[in-house]
Amino acid sequence: MIPELLRAQKNYFDTGDTKVVAFRKTALKRLKAELINRENDIIAALDKDFKKPAFESVLTETQVVLSELDLTIKNMMRWAKPKRVLPALLNFPSTDRLYSEPYGAVLIIAPWNYPYQLAMAPLIAAVAAGNTVILKPSELTTHTAALLNAIISTVFKPEHVCVVQGGVDVSTTLLAQKWDYIFFTGSVKVGKIVAKAAAEHLTPVTLELGGKNPCIIDASANIPLTAKRIVWGKFINAGQTCIAPDYVLIQASKKEAFYKAMQIEIEKAYTDTPKASHDFARIINQNNFERLSKMLANEHCIIGGATDAETYYIAPTLIDEPKLDSEVMKDEIFGPILPIISYEGISDLENIINRYAKPLALYVFSTNQTAAKKLITQFSFGGGCINDTVIHFVNHRLPFGGVGNSGIGAYHGQLSFDTFSHKKAVVKKANWLDLPVRYAPYTGKLKTVRTLLKWM
């Protein structure tokens, strides 16, 4: 089925209307109307999949997608228009342009943690750029995947855009095909599998991965406000966010005040019984619940620590001073568990942060602008914030992506359109003048060429 579907999409790309920008725009307008009509269904599906609060579903899923759609529909004609660039002097007289050309057949593999937004946002960009798309949603969020299938099949012909559902076997079959572009969001482990499969056909990829995101709090930080913003950024979606703070590095003199402030903010957000709060999501499945529960073993939970295997509930939890080789500090946590480690000086920060691969995000809380800027420039990471968490994701003018192990490539806004477009360079040379200096024989022309090259 999958090879036949891919062949149909490749044929549609070659013979259909996807290269016509007006056709793409009309398709995205149909998609927008359907998404607005189905918003309540999307919220309900996310609730069924892992008790995602309606507020978070609107804030981080449905409205993000609609904003991306509005931006794309408004600007895609301009983005797709050939861009004139300054020609090289050696080519005088000429006109030079960059053309945005769709790659062709695109595979998008979406994750389970934001199963609607992280499926639809790249899909919108791929369609806007003129590609055909096969979307593989996560098999862990079955209700959202089924709804995505219903929405896409209503708006698009299957040879243009379609959803393929299934588990690892389906993903393996998809990755065995020859694609023109692959966009993957998920773990580093699976990202390596995707990259290896893409390398077989030299297929270009975007890999949106993750990592252990440090959150640094220095002695000058506003502790009550810091705690408030960390509670929101860490525990939204029950910590199942690739850019959530993964661990806190706090100046030792501020640790006790920070714990008190965190207790206050957690109770403000989720009451003193978070399990009963309708504003706190659940862990996605049993495997992830058990993985996270093992991280709590033999650790000092200064706040939280409660679990419920029946409902996959893990309380917002702070672990005090875990060992650096402990289970909770080995890999990305991806849950509502936050290790707190105190430090004295900059060398402590370097020793801990540099133990891990380059993270997707890094956060600094400080009222000392010089110190904050120094930390932001000292460490390599995908993106981040000073005196907040997560919010860099919402600015479509900022690229979103990782570096090193945390990802390859970036997207958002116009960069999403560019991600799914090959930039084709074309020089149109005039015929009314033909400078002889570039042609053989070259005797006596070396000095002239050197002079010209200095001005290129």
pLDDT, tens digit, for every residue of 161-193? 999 999 999 999 999 999 999 999 999 999 999
Cβ-based neighbour number of residue 68 at 10 Å: 23
| Alpha carbon distances (Å) from 352 to 10, 44, 233, 385 | 48, 41, 22, 19
Whether the Cβ atoms of residue 202 and residue 180 lie closer than 8 Å to each other: no
DSSP state of 219: T
34 is catalytic: no
Q: What is the dihedral of CA 447, 448, 450, 453, to 10 degrees?
A: 180
Q: Which is the catalytic residue, given 56, 68, 208, 332? A: 208
Lowest mean pLDDT across 32-36, 66-70, 437-441: 437-441
Give the phi and the psi of residue 180 in degrees, each rounded to 5: -90, -20
**Exactly one of 162, 215, 242, 385 is catalytic; which is it?**
242
Q: Answer whether residue 1 shows pLDDT above 90.
A: no
> Confidence class of residue 157 from pLDDT cuts 50, 70 and 90?
very high
pTM of the model: 0.96
CB atoms near residue 111 (< 10 Å): 23
Q: What is the pLDDT of residues 343-397, one digit of tens each?
A: 999 999 999 999 999 999 999 999 999 999 999 999 999 999 999 999 999 999 9
Given this model, what pLDDT does residue 456 score?
64
Within 255-336, strands assigned E span 301-303, 307-308, 313-314, 317-320
Cα-based distances in Å from 262 to 122, 316, 361, 442:
35, 10, 21, 75
Listed in sequence order, the DSSP H helices in 38-116 are: 39-50, 54-57, 63-80
Q: Among 164, 218, 185, 206, which residue's Cα sits nearest to residue 372? A: 218
The DSSP-derived string for 155-179 is HS-TTTEEE---SHHHHHHHHTS--
CA 196, CA 83: separation in Å to the nearest integer?
Answer: 34
pLDDT of residue 423 exceeding 70, the answer is yes
d(C-alpha 297, C-alpha 406), whole Å? 27
Q: Which residues contact 324 (CB under 8 A, 6 or more apart)?
A: 341, 352, 355
Q: Is the pLDDT of residue 452 over 80?
A: no
2-209+404-423 has which fold?
Answer: Aldehyde Dehydrogenase; Chain A, domain 1 (3.40.605)
Give me the residue spans of the domains in the chain.
2-209+404-423, 214-398
Span 94-110, average pLDDT: 97
pLDDT of 242: 97
Give per-residue burial for 23-42: e unless 16+ CB within 10 Å, then b. Answer: ebbebbeebbeebeebbeeb
Q: What is the DSSP string of 97-136?
A: EEEEEE-SEEEEE--SSSTTHHHHHHHHHHHHTT-EEEEE
CB atoms under 10 Å from CB of 5, counted, come to 18
The shares of helix, strand and coil residues in the chain, as percent rounded to the nearest 5, are 45, 20, 35
Catalytic status, residue 208 = yes
From the number of C-beta atoms within 10 Å of its C-beta (0-12, 13-18, 19+), residue 355 rates as exposed
CATH code matching the domain that covers 214-398, chosen among 3.40.309.10, 3.40.30.10, 3.40.1110.10, 3.10.20.440: 3.40.309.10
CA distance 302 to 321: 10
Give residues with Cβ within 8 angstroms of 14, minimum separation 6: none
Q: What is the mean pLDDT of the chain?
A: 96
- R_g (Cα) of the chain, nearest Å: 25
281-333 pLDDT tens trace: 999 999 999 999 999 999 999 999 999 999 999 999 999 999 999 999 999 99
pLDDT band at 449 (very low <50, low <70, confident <90, very high): confident
- pLDDT tier at 212 (50, 70, 90 boundaries)? very high
